[in-house]
Amino acid sequence: MEQTIFELSRPGRVGVRMPACDVPTKPLEALLPGVALRDELPLPELSEPEVVRHFVRISNLNYCVDKGLYPLGSCTMKYNPKINDVAVNMPGFARVHPYQPEETAQGAIEVLYEMQSWLSTILGMDAVSLQPAAGAHGELLGLMLIRAYHVHRGDGETRRLVLVPTAAHGTNPASAARCGYKVVDVKTNERGLTDLEHLKEQLAKNEGHIAGFMLTNPNTVGLFEEEILEISRLVHEAGGLMYCDGANMNALVGTVRPGDMGFDVMHVNLHKTFSVPHGGGGPGSGPVGVKKILEPFLPVPMAVKNDDGTFSLDSDRPLSIGKVGPYAGAYLAVVRSFAYLLHYGREKLPQISENSVLNASYLKAKLSKTFAVAYDRPCMHEAVFSLERLKKDYNVKALDVCKRIIDYGFHPPTMYFPLIVPECLMIEPTESESMETLDAFVEALEAIAQEAADTPALVQGAPYTAPVKRLDEPFAARNLDVAWK
Ligand SMILES: *Cc1c(COP(=O)(O)O)cnc(C)c1O
């Protein structure tokens, strides 16, 4: 496409000169029909400093990874390298249009192709779709693929059950139900792992009806499923497929591949494991990887490399389930993650998982002197504690501790998930935090545990320094329109 200067040439407005980019010079009147043109846009008249101060002031009310530790378990909140912002602001990425002729967007499609192949390698899968917009969306796609597989083989109508552990993230049973499946529970044993005996029971009881098993590994209490090969074998033997909830990939990147554990299909969250901002910083992206048997059913389009070395978006896939989202996915989220992966490079990828496991293990070792570890086994990228004792002894709940840690300058960890651990705190420091930061966090929690013993009311009433005081939760739940009392 010709490289030109874009000028806003509406009468009565000063022409705004933009740097050379991929938008052709044409008067707006030539681009839009008359009815779509307005003479006036009633925007408030504000100076640049006023606008800047407004946004900086509201951004200061917020807490973010650029301000400090954000130790959410499960929903990995990683540092977002600034190089990612440089990448997404390049005009060829930022201004690419989904209806642009392919020959003018070769580099942009190449990034999609490369990302499909990097993720396939990292996950140990044969193909990857970048279309889903979130993890839950990827789960839905994964289950639709499982369904397409069974329907194609002729037992789609008899295989209507999906196994889900009781410890699973809420999106797992929700996605299964959304896809028309009935959920069958699998218990977690006292060691925090899938209860093999219960799994066998459920498989036997529902013989011929199991479509698949949705499992998170490392699982939702941060432990590696040691019996994963046996679990996969049992489920495959029963005619089901293995779905991996890859939200915990941070523990595995570059070290272990779910494809080698027997999983047939999985999603990853680019907005967790691969450093795209989340929690208001979106949009997200939840690519889905599959083994060969599911590849024909993947959504369209797929980025492909042609024999002559050019790249295209291929929609000629007769068995495809269709589309689960617009175009090729959340494009700039993919660009951010690709920049992040290139930033590490192939050789250094294992550092991501090694350091995240090291950091979590360090925290677990130090904090186990203060709080009870939910399952006393080597953790992976996150550690789970139960604060039941604190509640029994001083009536200080996990919620109170989380509110109080705000006063110490930290974002609270994940609490009350997974549901199977009472008064649960789930902490994931991620690989990018220093030992000093982790020590400061542990000291804060130790101080709060001491406060709980000495002056419980202090912890129960926190926070005192945040822009917003503790919400009156029962009031907020009953008065949704006036929650800010
Ligand atoms: C975050 C998460 C999901 C869902 O991902 P979203 O991108 O939030 O939809 C699923 N499972 C687990 C274990 C998660 O942590």
Q: Report the CATH number that the domain containing residue 393 is assigned in CATH.
A: 3.90.1150.10
- Which of 140, 169, 275 to mutate to test ligand 1, by most ligand atoms within 8 A of the CB atom? 169
Q: How far is CA 9 from CA 6, 13, 18, 26, in A?
A: 9, 7, 12, 8
Examine the fold and report which residue of 303, 321, 347 is the final residue of a domain before the chain moves on: 347
Note whether residue 66 is domain-resident.
Answer: no
Q: Are residues 222 and 162 both part of a single domain?
A: yes
224 located within any domain? yes
Q: Whose C-alpha lies nearest to ligand 1, atom 4? A: 135
169 lines ligand 1 (CB under 6 A): yes
- Is residue 37 in some structural domain? no
Spatial distance between the Cα atoms of 248 and 221, rounded to a whole number of angstroms: 10
Atom 6 in ligand 1: residue holding the nearest Cα = 135
How many angstroms does the Cα of residue 272 sit away from the middle of ligand 1? 9
Domain of residue 379, residue span: 351-484
Would you say residue 60 lies in a domain? Answer: no
* Same-domain check for residues 248 and 191: yes
| C-alpha to C-alpha distance for 8 and 353, rounded to whole angstroms | 49
Look at residues 284, 313, 347 and tell me which one is the last residue of a structural domain. Answer: 347
User: Based on the domain organization, do 329 and 445 belong to the same domain?
Assistant: no
Is there a single domain that holds both residue 192 and residue 246?
yes
Q: What is the DSSP letter of 480?
A: G
335, 229 in Cβ contact below 8 A? no
Q: What's the rounded Cα separation, in Å, for the pair 21 and 10?
A: 19
Measured CA to CA, the distance from residue 122 to residue 274 in angstroms comes to 12
In a domain, 65, yes or no: no
Helices (H), 154-268: 171-178, 196-205, 228-237
At 467 the pLDDT is 77
Q: Is the CB of 246 inside a 6 Å radius of any atom of ligand 1?
A: no
- 95 close to 21: Cβ distance less than 8 angstroms: yes
Whether residues 331 and 280 fall in one domain: yes
Q: Tokens in use for 230?
A: 């046996």
Instruction: Assign residue 168 the CATH number of its domain.
Output: 3.40.640.10
Ligand 1 geometric centre to CA of 363 (Å): 23
* Residue 17 in domain: no
How many angstroms is it from 246 CA to the middle of ligand 1?
8
Same domain, 401 and 311: no
Look at residue 281 and give its three-state secondary structure: coil
Co-location of 403 and 469 in the same domain: yes
Crossing angle of helices 196-205 and 228-237, in 10° steps, is 10
Number of H helices, E strands in the chain: 16, 13
Name the residue of 267, 269, 384, 426 to mutate for ligand 1: max ligand atoms within 8 A of Cβ.
269
Contact between 220 and 254 under an 8 Å Cβ cutoff? The reply is no
Pairwise CA distance, residues 266 & 261, whole Å:
12
DSSP single-letter state for residue 275: -
Q: Which residues of the chain have pLDDT under 50?
A: 1-21, 485
End position of a domain, from candidates 314, 329, 347: 347
Is the separation of the CB atoms in 385 and 373 below 8 Å? yes
Is residue 157 included in any domain, yes or no? yes
Cα 322 from Cα 300, distance rounded (Å): 6
Domain count, the chain: 2
134 in contact with ligand 1, CB cutoff 6 A: yes
For residues 416 and 441, membership in a common domain is answered with yes
Regarding whether 357 and 277 lie in a shared domain, the answer is: no
* Cα–Cα distance measured from residue 356 to residue 429, given in angstroms and rounded to the nearest whole number: 7
Task: Give the neighbor-by-neighbor strand order of the sheet with 265-267.
Answer: 127-129, 288-290, 265-267, 241-245, 210-216, 161-165, 182-186
Distance 271 CA to ligand 1 centre (A): 10
CA distance 72 to 429: 7
> What 3-state DSSP class applies to 181?
coil
* 120: number of Cβ within 10 Å: 18
CB 232 within 8 A of CB 263: yes
Residue 483: partners with Cβ closer than 8 Å, 6 or more residues away: 471, 475, 476
Regarding the beta carbon of 124 and ligand 1, being less than 6 Å apart is answered no
Q: Are residues 238 and 360 in the same domain?
A: no
Which secondary-structure segment (H or E) carries 161?
Answer: strand 161-165
Cα–Cα distance for residue pair 330/334, rounded to 1 Å: 7
368, part of any domain: yes
Shared domain for 299 and 355, answered yes or no, is: no
Residues 403 and 306 placed together within one structural domain of the fold: no
pTM of this structure: 0.89
pLDDT at position 14 is 38
Burial of 426 (0-12, 13-18, 19+ CB in 10 A): buried
